[in-house]
Structure 1
Amino acid sequence: MLLPRLAPLIIALGLPSLAHAAPTQYPLTLENCGSTLTFEQPPSRVVTIGQAGTEMLYAMGLSDKVVGTSLWFNDVQMKYKAQNDKIERLADNEPSFEAVIGKRPQLVAVELEWMVGPQGVVGTRQQFHELKIPTYLMPSDCEAKDNLVGADGTRLEAFRIDSIYKSISQLAEIFDVQERGQQLNAQLKASLAKSIATVQAKDLKQTSALFWFSSASLDIDPYVAGHKGIPDFMLSTLGVRNVVESDEEWPTVGWETIAKANPTFLVIARMDRRRFPADDHEKKLQFLRSDPVTRNMDAVKNNRIIILDAMAMQASIRMFDGLETLATAISGYDLPK
């Protein structure tokens, strides 16, 4: 059934109406990031390694299937807090292999291949599959990407938004809730269209930006968004150029190089994780306004600094909220001619 508030928005934005979804036919077999997964029935026990998959499942009303979560950058969205509070958090960052299998999962949903992959810090897919535990890896982190090059992998092709819709559709099929998946994807597409419309009248041809995720230490080069990843998609969708040209997902770039590029906007990550000092966005702001190199950048002097949740910089449903925040902030600035 179409969500009441969604129908007029879809019509207004020219998005297609939702077709009735056929139920999943089990056994279900699907290809996922180089592995063939087979499900005899919908999984009743799921462990998530990564906030993106966790919140996708919550958004489709599947929190009762989740028995353990891990790898959180931000607190859960308030609308899911009640459900999330009932579920064990195995780790704020990466869980141990033993902690995951100890929950007897029938599916492990993984956001990032460096967690569960050829050199996974939690384990390899083979280790899980030998125990008859299927692992579903988000296509956004495996398709056209080499996760063995660079700290967070290197994009072989630019990130495609369809990979998020694909994750939602496939998870919906696995759990036989295709109609919910269709509704969620329609909401996200409507949100994307709204963000694009927000900046449509703005002349952004000469604008540029830098995304700063974090830094291992505030006195060394920061982790910033490469030019083929999710933040680059967000910028290019709005018509803004990313000043970073590396194919790596999150390369380190020196502040002198960044200052020379002099981006129009600085976008910094706010997170509740505290692995590095610069995870704290207030410390990022203090650094930008006090460092002799960064404080003279146009974006800092003119306070063109936009704060986004870290999960809004990931391939997640939160990215669409981040895109709306980014579009609204950019549309509100008086930009240099």
Structure 2
Amino acid sequence: MLRLILGALLWLAALPTLADSYENCGKTWRLEHPAQRIVALNQHSADLLLALGAGPSMIGVAYLDDDGLAQAQGHYHGVPVISRQYPSAEVLYSLKPDLVVGGFASAFPDNFSSRERLGAIGIGSYLLESACAGHDEDYFGQIRRDLLTLGRLLHKEQQARQLIAGMDADLDAAAALYRGRETPAVFYLDSEVNGLASQGQRGFVGVLLHAAGARNSFAAIDRPRLVVDSETLLVNDPDVLLLADALWSPASRKRQLLHSDPVLSRLRAVRQKRLIDIPFTQLVPGIASGRTALELARRLHPGAD
């Protein structure tokens, strides 16, 4: 009997070790048990999870940015779309997730869907490192950390290492394409809804352009986000315009504005048809970033292959 009691005590003492501890956003978090019911709160966070092979464990994805067909059909790569934007706390709780993964800080508002509130009721959470407060500019390093951490939590370490190797190979291939060639100036047009929204020096797009052998034409402005007017952009007169293609701001609508506006239509890039459309989720740090850098390098440096 004493052996049975001692055995039970040892088993109970070992239970906390079943929880996984992990570092994210400069803090230590816990996942109480292996994730079997995962919700992704942004499209690019879903893409990273899907690339790791977590699809069978994913029970919902929210806030699709550039896949209108999936939005209309209600499934994203087989995962149910649970909300056009972020779900309410009631909807999220009703799904009984054990892990919630966000791609932007806005995915975890300071209410019943905050990471602390979720953790208090046993729901694990993860925010992509590029969205953490006070993050540095090593965006590709952050993607590697996301893959390694989530790969360990999902028991997909080998897949994570393979994805990192693939991203690094794409970055090396992009560098080989632009080496020794001129560096074009690129203006990134995120949205035209309330002015010409773009990014300054501290945004990811500048890092992505650098990886493709180009530069952000507004890199001198030390801000992550900025809005410029048409006259300012005309003075800047970049070599190329990079257009985000999003559900709320389609690239086709941006092109229409650029060609019809009396000022913007005078831009060299518009007159020379040097416009590049890229889906929005490929312009934020994520699983597609290496491939996007390589695609941009090919399009910005034609004939370099």
- With structure 1 as the length reference, what TM-score do the two structures score? 0.78
Give me the CA root mean square deviation: 2.4
Task: Give the % identical residues.
Answer: 22
Paired with 2:174 and 2:291, the residues of 1 have a C-alpha distance of 9
Paired with 1:249 and 1:131, the residues of 2 have a C-alpha distance of 35
CA contact (8 A) 1:110 1:116 kept: yes
Deviating above 6 A after TM superposition, structure 1's stretches of 4 or more consecutive aligned residues are none
CA contact (8 A) 1:159 1:229 kept: no
Paired with 1:26 and 1:69, the residues of 2 have a C-alpha distance of 27
Cα deviation, residue 262, structure 1: 0.8
How many residue pairs get matched?
284
Q: Per the alignment, in what secondary structure is the counterpart of residue 23 of structure 2?
A: strand
Q: Deviations over 1:241-297 (max 9, x none)?
A: 2122444433222221111111111000112x2x3xxx1211111111111111111
Identify if the C-alpha distance between structure 1 residues 45 and 178 changes in structure 2 by more than 3 Å, giving closer, same or farther: same
Identify if the C-alpha distance between structure 1 residues 144 and 188 changes in structure 2 by more than 3 Å, giving closer, same or farther: same
Cα deviation, residue 135, structure 1: 1.3
1:212 aligns with 2:202: no
Letter in 2 for 1:308: I
1:137 aligns with 2:141: no
Counterpart residue number, 2:238: 263
Q: Per the alignment, in what secondary structure is the counterpart of residue 252 of structure 1?
A: strand
Q: Which moved more, 1:62-71 or 1:37-46?
A: 37-46
CA contact (8 A) 2:167 2:291 kept: no
5+ unaligned residues in a row in structure 1: which ranges? 1-24, 146-156
Identify if the C-alpha distance between structure 1 residues 247 and 134 changes in structure 2 by more than 3 Å, giving closer, same or farther: farther
Counterpart residue number, 2:115: 125
Identify if the C-alpha distance between structure 1 residues 246 and 101 changes in structure 2 by more than 3 Å, giving closer, same or farther: farther
- Among residues 64, 67, 82, which one is paired with 1:75 in the alignment? 67
CA contact (8 A) 2:179 2:213 kept: no
Paired with 1:214 and 1:169, the residues of 2 have a C-alpha distance of 32
Q: Deviations over 1:279-326 (max 9, x none)?
A: 121111111111111111111111111111111111111222321221
- Among residues 160, 180, 187, which one is paired with 2:139 in the alignment? 160
Cα deviation, residue 202, structure 1: 2.0
Cα deviation, residue 227, structure 1: 1.6
Paired with 1:136 and 1:185, the residues of 2 have a C-alpha distance of 19
Counterpart residue number, 2:182: 203
CA contact (8 A) 2:40 2:60 kept: yes
